[in-house]
Each structure stands twice: as structure tokens, then as C-alpha cells.
Amino acid sequence: MLNVSNAPTAQFEALQARGAKFLGTELAIMGGAMSWVSERNLVAAISNAGGFGVIACGAMPPALLEKEIAATQAITAKPFGVNLITMHPQLDDLVQICIRAGVGHVVLAGGIPPGPAVRAVKDGGAKLIAFAPALVLAKRFVKSGVDALVIEGSEAGGHIGPVSLTVLAQEILPHIRDIPVFVAGGLGRGEAILGYLEMGAAGAQLGTRFAASVESIAHPNFKNAFLRANARDAIPSIQLDERFPVIPVRGLVNEGTKKFLAHQAETIQKFQSGELDKTQAQLAIEHFWAGALRRAVVEGDVEGGSVMAGQSVGMVTAIQKVSEILQELKDQAVAALALREQTRTYADIGAA
Ligand SMILES: Cc1cc2nc3c(=O)[nH]c(=O)nc-3n(C[C@H](O)[C@H](O)[C@H](O)COP(=O)(O)O)c2cc1C
């Protein structure tokens, strides 16, 4: 008879213990901050279900962030974090809002965390999480006192770097052992999370799957677009001319992405004819997507808006409750470990 044991569950718990302890959660799974999506309801749902929700501050002014934190605290007693964008003009005020509200973890995204913000977070007694896009920066962040890192591969939804998680994980995980490292980008199943835990990751961060959850306040059109899409539909924004850089953002192909190409071509034409100077042309290109994520998430304009999504979108096959998503991820990881144990048992029987 096959050996049925709790060993796979215990193994999984052990592999994710460091990340869970750092976050103060049951599961070392973070709900990556998503502008317009990661607000009180989704954040509290993730934290209440044993994961770690993160509020996306985005461009919110300090007073609005203060309200959002209080509203989240009203519906969860569990730990959650706040993601602040480093280029926000009131970054220091936002950090103070987090500290005063007793937020335990602050995530600094969108660039190298500025020294004063790092010190303010730490002096305030909160833990600081930063994104490391390369090993040199990861090492620098460890030295500067960052408490944990997220390495986000180019498979992710939203603003992306050029390197996949497969490569980033190999470059960074073996070398950063002093602080926990969470992996992100393209994760949709527990087996993949298990693989990265075994490589030394402390936990994982997912965005796309949670954006399509029951508790996500995203417009039904936005969630349905996720349901219909395959991995190959989630592509990075395309740049037509190297003189006019385009910030790489991964999202679903739609009318907007096609119009963006035509808009770039027209703008470049206007630059070449002297109608626009270089700065005006660059601004015209950058302005194209202004407000576009909000239009897609809040208003449901999934044709003209920006439907940011990771390549993991192909693994969104139903609108599930956050608790079901988390349970499924854990079950898949545990089942993979159980299968391994079973294979070993068969091998032992064979050998006997
Ligand atoms: C709709 C959407 C909006 C996002 N907005 C932000 C953001 O405001 N700040 C941020 O740091 N990351 C943002 N992200 C990235 C997520 O936090 C997360 O790292 C990413 O979704 C992980 O990859 P996955 O989508 O394949 O799970 C966004 C992702 C999506 C899908």
C-alpha cells in the first residue's frame, strides 16, 4: 500500500516558512499592487484568505491614501502592505501616512528607492520591500537596508523590465540569501511557485489572477477579457522609433494597442515635417495612454483602454474567489510534492 502522509504539506510549509514569517501570513503569497484594482476590497480579501494584499497607491494624494488604508483596516485585521511609486511628488508624505497608520510593510516601486524614503520607512518601524531588476542592484539594496526584494520577470502584467523571471531567478536567487526574495511575473500555478521556492525564493507575488477574482472591483468587461485571453495576447507595448522611447507595459492586444502604433507613426511624421519638436513629439507619444488603465478597469473600455495583464492571463479560466485561488495554488504545490513522494515509493518497491 502507498504511504499516505502529511509530509508533502509539511514540506510545502517549510519551504514557504521564511516568506510567511516575513509577511506575517499563513501563505507566502503576495497580491501584487495593481493601480485601480488593488484597493480595500481586493487587498482585504487576499489578506483575510491568508495571503498578503498590497494597496496600490499609484498617483493618489496623501489624504486619499490615508482613507484607503483606514478603510482596508476596517475590513481586515490581517497584515497588508502599501505600494508607493518612487517618482510620486509627495513620496515622503505618503511614507509618513503609512507609518502613522501602522502599515507594517511598504513596497517602493518604479525605480531605485531614494535614501530618505528608505530611512523614513525603517525609522518608522515598517519593513521595506523593493524591486530588484538585476543582481548588482539586489546586492546594493541589501546593503542599503532593504528588508525583502521582489524580482519581477518580463512575463508580468503592467510596467515591465526586459528579463524573464526564469533568468532573473537564476541570476539572483542563489546569491541573495540575507533577505527574503519574492518572485513575480507569469505565475499562475502552484507547481511553478514550488519550483521557485526550491530554488531559494521566499514566496511569490501574483497580479493577473487576482485582478480577475470575484472580489476584484475591476469592471466585468475587464475580467471577461482576461477569461477570453491566451498568454500570447498579453504583449509589451511596441516602440516604432528608437528616438522616441516607449515605456514597456504588458497588456492585452486591442484597438488601443493598434491605434498606439498609428499614433506613433503620425507623431513621428509631424516631427519629421517640423510641425512638432522632439520634446513635443515625445510628450504626444507618452500622453496617448494617459488615464487608459482607469478607462479599462473602472469604465470597462477594454477596446480603447489599457488592459494590463501578465502572460499568466491564459491561466485565468474562471472568475474565482480569492480564497479559492490561494487554496488552488497551495494544493497544486502540495500535490506536486505528493506525486514526487509517490514516485519515490514506487521506486523503492521496484528496488526491493
Ligand atoms: C492591471 C495591472 C496593474 C498593475 N499595476 C501595478 C502598479 O501600480 N504598481 C506595481 O508595482 N505593479 C503593478 N502591476 C504588477 C503587479 O503588481 C504584479 O507584480 C504582476 O501582475 C505579476 O505578474 P502576473 O500579472 O503575471 O501575476 C500591475 C499588474 C497588472 C496586471
Compute the distance between CA of residue 343 and CA of residue 340 in angstroms, rounded to an integer. Answer: 5
What spacing in Å lies between the alpha carbon of 92 and ligand 1's midpoint?
23
The predicted pLDDT at position 43 comes to: 98
Q: Name the closest-CA residue to atom 21, ligand 1.
A: 207
Q: Name the closest-CA residue to atom 13, ligand 1.
A: 34
Of 165, 170, 168, residue with least CA distance to 199? 170
Any ligand 1 atom below 6 A from CB of 11: no
The predicted pLDDT at position 16 comes to: 98
The predicted pLDDT at position 5 comes to: 66
What spacing in Å lies between the alpha carbon of 278 and ligand 1's midpoint?
31
What is the DSSP-derived secondary structure letter of residue 314?
G
Atom of ligand 1 nearest to the CA of 308: 1
Question: What's the one-letter identity of residue 115?
Answer: G
Number of residues written out for the chain: 352
If one counts every other C-beta atom within 10 angstroms of the C-beta of residue 108, the result is 24
Any ligand 1 atom below 6 A from CB of 313: no
Contacts for 103 with CB less than 8 Å, ≥ 6 apart:
69, 80, 81, 82, 126
Any ligand 1 atom below 6 A from CB of 211: yes
Biggest CA pair distance of the chain: 82
pLDDT 10s digit of each residue in the chain, 352 long? 444 568 999 999 999 999 999 999 999 999 999 999 999 999 999 999 999 999 999 999 999 999 999 999 999 999 999 999 999 999 999 999 999 999 999 999 999 999 999 999 999 999 999 999 999 999 999 999 999 999 999 999 999 999 999 999 999 999 999 999 999 999 999 999 999 999 999 999 999 999 999 999 999 999 999 999 999 999 999 999 999 999 999 999 999 999 999 999 999 999 999 999 999 999 999 999 999 999 999 999 999 999 999 999 999 999 999 999 999 999 999 999 999 888 877 777 776 6
Any ligand 1 atom below 6 A from CB of 35: yes
Any ligand 1 atom below 6 A from CB of 309: yes
The predicted pLDDT at position 302 comes to: 98
Any ligand 1 atom below 6 A from CB of 184: yes
The predicted pLDDT at position 343 comes to: 83
Helices (H), the chain: 7-23, 40-48, 62-75, 91-100, 115-123, 135-143, 165-172, 190-199, 208-211, 220-228, 255-272, 278-287, 292-297, 322-351
Any ligand 1 atom below 6 A from CB of 314: no
Does the CA dihedral 180-189-192-26 come out positive or negative?
Answer: positive
pTM equals: 0.96
Q: Name the closest-CA residue to atom 4, ligand 1.
A: 34
Any ligand 1 atom below 6 A from CB of 46: no
